[in-house]
Structure 1
Amino acid sequence: MTLDDELSALAVQEDLPADLVWRLLQHPPAMVRARLAEHPEPSVRAAVAASVADEPPGLLARLAVDQDPSVRAFLAMNEHLPPELLTVLADDAEPSVRSNVIQYWRDAPEPVRRALLTDPDPNVRRSAASAYSPPADLLPVLLADPETRAIAVRYVDPSPELARDPESGVRRAVAAHPHLSAELRDVLAADLDVFVRNTIAARPDTPSALRERLVATLATDDPWAEWVLSFQRNTHACPPHGSAPPRLTREQAEDLLARAGL
């Protein structure tokens, strides 16, 4: 038995420790990785799926129909994946797989983008609306969808209806719109939502007198909200860094872990 044969046999050993699996993944012969793609542990197959090239031919296609959705989700991250397999994954039954396609395939063709923008899963639709510029004929659909309405605002001209939308996220999006009129700016400056008013205060075209009046209405006792509000206006101050913890030797680190039961 050659060394490669021995490594291929080792690759399918069910009780192989994780650190040895990762070392095997670094081995160049394609046959070892192909055997790891058949490993009974999904996490191992997922690790292979994320980076393996199509060697031997057909390996990526086999991973694209793996029974475990985590394997298919990791496969969507693979830079070696051809468009035809990305298209298959874009229609996968598991939403997390479709979401990963959106994240890693920003230049997807229009039919794929359309399908993802109108996906039955709300998380997928939101991701797609954030990643892709929608076709004009889909804008009414996205604006009518509560899950994508605020995101779609950026692609339309601000309107009084949108500036008075019951959803504060939509009004915030209108407040940040680059083509916001002075009239709608003043409407949103009186909004009940502090984050909408803060967005108006953060605009570079907001008159200084109006900005000062708005900032006076933004006081809050919530430190997190205060940080977010000041961050948007670029007036925040980061807390000072604490001193670095002492560096431990390996012996000290092992003693610490042992005392922690790790």
Structure 2
Amino acid sequence: MNLDAELSALAVQEDLPADLVWRLLRHPQARRSAALLRSDLTAESMEEVIRLGSARSLAANSSVPAEVRARLAEHPELSVRAAVAASVADDPPGLLARLAGDPDPSVRTFLAMNEHLPAELLALLAEDAEPSVRSSVIGNWRHAPEPVRRALLTDSDPNIRRSAASAYSPPTDLVPVLLADPETRAIAVRYTDPSPELAADPDSGVREAVAAHPNLPAELRDVLAADGDVFVRNAIADRQDTPSTLRESLSAALETDDPWVEWIQSSARTPHTCPPPAPAPPRLTREQAESLLARAGL
């Protein structure tokens, strides 16, 4: 571990004496770590963090007193207000509504991610003029009421319609609308019965969606097994109901020299697993902490 990393680890060590925390604030990386993660920062330490230019990290710390975060919600730097917006509670009352009216769309986008946001403010942000804000609502409000879902599924922005179609089960009467929309057609396949017309769609993404449909009839499965698109054939090979002889012949023909295609195919078959977390750094005694600070000139 290099010196910067050691100082950052020390900066978040539990029960670290306040005087050592104060000295660590002189080191930029350690200061950001302490500002973001410590729950025992003193009022003087928080003021020093702000003075030294790490208000953004402090704004994202949920342990910071409400009055400090409310003050940071008025900070001139966009990144600071956005950090507050992402996680602040409505304390003092009206703070969330004030952030919903922030002139910068990035702040409103982060606000839509806030788990403390009430439904009425989420509904307001779902109608925001900035597409990134509406997109953030979709990503963080999976149980939006039907009027909100309808509006987003029929949004004027194609990216919003695609995101909404991926996130929400559409009302039955909207399924034909989504199927008629080139932007959402492939996604909407899951909500209708597979048909020869869909299996022959010129969009390979639609045909791939048909190939993965749980209710795909055997006759359409066999048609799509001969599709010209490698990803459509791959979807057929991945089906549990594909006969073993057909799967083997498809798998043999799916071999490719294209590393991107190979990666897509293999990732569909192999679930992603996260690496194990790194071991926690050793806890330093006062003497060891003093030695580390001395090495860093702090």
In the alignment, does 2:230 pair up with 1:194? yes
| 1:209-252 residue CA offsets vs partner (Å, 9 max, x unmatched) | 11122122212111221232233345x9x9xx9xxxxxxxx89x
Where relative contact order (Cα < 8 A, 6+ residues apart) is larger, the structure is 2
SS at match of 2:253: coil
Are 2:59 and 2:84, in contact at CA under 8 Å, matched by a contact in 1? no
Q: Which runs of 4+ in 1 moved over 6 A?
A: none
Gaps of 5+ in 2: 1-42, 276-291
TM-score (norm 1): 0.82
- Provide closer, same or farther for how the CA distance between residues 35 and 230 of structure 1 changes in structure 2, counting only shifts above 3 A: closer
Aligned residue in 1 for 2:121 = 85
Aligned residue in 1 for 2:65 = 29
In the alignment, does 2:207 pair up with 1:161? no
Are 1:198 and 1:233, in contact at CA under 8 Å, matched by a contact in 2? no
Are 1:201 and 1:233, in contact at CA under 8 Å, matched by a contact in 2? no
Matches within 5 A, 1:29-108: 29-108=65-144
Q: CA deviation at 1:17?
A: 3.6
Matches within 5 A, 1:216-231: 216-231=252-267
Given candidates 159, 163, 170, the residue that maps to 1:127 is 163
Q: CA deviation at 1:24?
A: 6.0
CA distance in 2, matches of 1:91, 1:24: 27
- Provide closer, same or farther for how the CA distance between residues 25 and 207 of structure 1 changes in structure 2, counting only shifts above 3 A: closer
Alignment length, in residue pairs?
235
The one-letter amino acid paired with 1:107 is H
Gaps of 5+ in 1: 1-5, 242-249, 255-262
Q: CA deviation at 1:28?
A: 3.9
The one-letter amino acid paired with 1:139 is V
| 1:70-96 residue CA offsets vs partner (Å, 9 max, x unmatched) | 000000011110000000000001111
SS at match of 1:219: coil
SS at match of 2:261: helix
CA distance in 2, matches of 1:146, 1:24: 42
Are 2:55 and 2:80, in contact at CA under 8 Å, matched by a contact in 1? no
SS at match of 1:216: helix
Cα RMSD after superposing both structures: 2.8
SS at match of 1:40: coil
Are 1:72 and 1:89, in contact at CA under 8 Å, matched by a contact in 2? yes
CA distance in 1, matches of 2:155, 2:107: 21
Q: CA deviation at 1:21?
A: 4.6
SS at match of 1:199: helix
- Provide closer, same or farther for how the CA distance between residues 21 and 46 of structure 1 changes in structure 2, counting only shifts above 3 A: closer
Percent identity among equivalent residues? 72
Q: CA deviation at 1:32?
A: 1.7
TM-score (norm 2): 0.72
